[in-house]
Structure 1
Amino acid sequence: MKNLPLATQTLMILALLLTLGACQNESSASQSSGNTTASATQPIATATPVSVVSDEQAIEILAKRVEQDGLYKDWNSLQCLSFMVEAADEEGYDLAINENHGGECPGDPSVAPVVDRFRVKSDGTILWLDSSGTYVDYEQAKRERGQ
């Protein structure tokens, strides 16, 4: 997957997320118990604990959360955003969400400005990089931004 253009990688990940979301909705509808939602600062609820072990998995967790929370719903489409791992260590993955330009996405195709930065910790916890350069609780940052 690393040899594919970034836009193609992003589209593949978004298609996967949409498919996973549809499967999850079908599964949720068949259960008679009440729904519970995972806090963004907690690992995404799964049958087994989340252990983030790859760039692709970190991107998937962040992209799913961003779409679920509608963070960029006012954008032309999520196709106009790309997710990039900037750094990784044993504690987690630092990701940037960049604008895609060209095609259906407005803007100069020769630039891809950073929209936001996040950290997906190795346990699936998501942190948001604030304007002071500090990673903060995802839900707290979302509230402070009015989202």
Structure 2
Amino acid sequence: MNTINTSYTKRAALFCLAALLLACSRTPEPPKAAPAAHTRVKASKPLAPAQITENQALELLLSALKQHKIADLDCLAFASENDAPGMPAAELWEFAAREIHDDRCGGDPAVAPVRDRYQVNSTGIVMVYNVAEAEYVKL
């Protein structure tokens, strides 16, 4: 009797697996229509992504920070953190805003902690690093 139950269980399991495979399989995409004989198809050249220089990115960042009235910019120093130093232009620039500690800004001159990290892309969007979420969010 135990052999019958085992055999039945195996068959039922195989049937369920087969049903799942059939139900979850992809349906083929319909064939794409060919262009009409009288229309011309232009060869399109892929657009190169826009790139900006480090100075352009820094200007965009400073402008955004002034617009959002972020901190005293005179007490912050910005350093590029891109992976490829000496790169003339890129689609995305990363900057660290470090505190300046001197007589005017106060603090220990021996340290310059990072206050914030920013990303500036070639379209002018500025992102700030959200430490709690461990991701960049729009400024």
What TM-score, normalized by structure 1, do the two folds share? 0.52
Q: What is the CA deviation profile of residues 86-116 of structure 1, one whole-angstrom value per residue up to 9, with x for unaligned ones?
A: 1167430011111001131101111111111
Identity of aligned residues (%): 35
The C-alpha deviation readout for 1:53-99, integer Å capped at 9, x for no partner, is 21111111111111121121xxxx42111111111674300111110
- Which of 79, 91, 106 lines up with 2:74 in the alignment? 79
In 1, distance between residues paired with 2:93 and 2:51?
9
Give the Cα separation in 2 of the matches to 1:53 and 1:61: 10
Q: What is aligned with 2:63? A: 64
Higher helix share: 1
Q: Where does the alignment leave 5 or more consecutive residues of structure 1 unmatched? A: 1-50, 139-147
What is the CA–CA distance in structure 2 between the aligned matches of 1:110 and 1:59, rounded to whole Å? 25
User: Which has the greater radius of gyration?
Assistant: 2
Secondary structure of the residue that 1:136 maps to in structure 2? strand
What aligned pairs does 1:41-56 form with structure 2 within 5 A after superposition?
A: 53-56=52-55
Q: Relative contact order, CA 8 A, sep 6+: which one is greater?
A: 1
State the Cα RMSD in Å.
1.8
Partner of 2:94: 94
Aligned length: 84
Residue 87 of structure 1 aligns to a residue in which SS? coil
Which blocks of at least 5 consecutive residues in structure 2 are unaligned? 1-49, 85-89
